[in-house]
Amino acid sequence: MAYDVLDAHDGLAGFASFWLDEQHALIESFRQWLRALGSEWFTLPPALVETVDGTWRFAFVLRKGDTVAGVFNHPGQAIAAIGDASLAQAFENEFGGD
């Protein structure tokens, strides 16, 4: 998957596609992992967003039923927000704290 995204920090038409591909793949792996666990927690598909400093990244919404736990850029942030020690350990085992 390629993203032709201008990185405002470099002042050139630089593309951040590799980093975005990696971030997207990690979020998708996390989504599939939660689903495979049969967890009540799930994420909405990641969305590409521009930050206030002009850079781009993926963000996703973590939910449990109708409750939104937050919007995150990294699965580790979502795991911390859940606050379940056994799920955090399973995440560490699966993703190595990535």
29 within a domain of the structure (yes/no): yes
54 within a domain of the structure (yes/no): yes
Q: How far, in Å, CA of 98 to CA of 91, rounded?
A: 9
Question: Which tokens hold the place of 44?
Answer: 């909405």
39 within a domain of the structure (yes/no): yes
Q: Please give the residue range of the domain that contains residue 71.
A: 17-95
Q: How far, in Å, CA of 23 to CA of 16, rounded?
A: 11
Q: What is the pLDDT of residue 97?
A: 61
For 38-88, the pLDDT digits (tens) are 999 999 999 999 989 988 899 999 999 999 999 999 999 999 999 999 999
84 within a domain of the structure (yes/no): yes
pTM: 0.79
4 within a domain of the structure (yes/no): no
8 within a domain of the structure (yes/no): no
The count of domains in the chain is 1
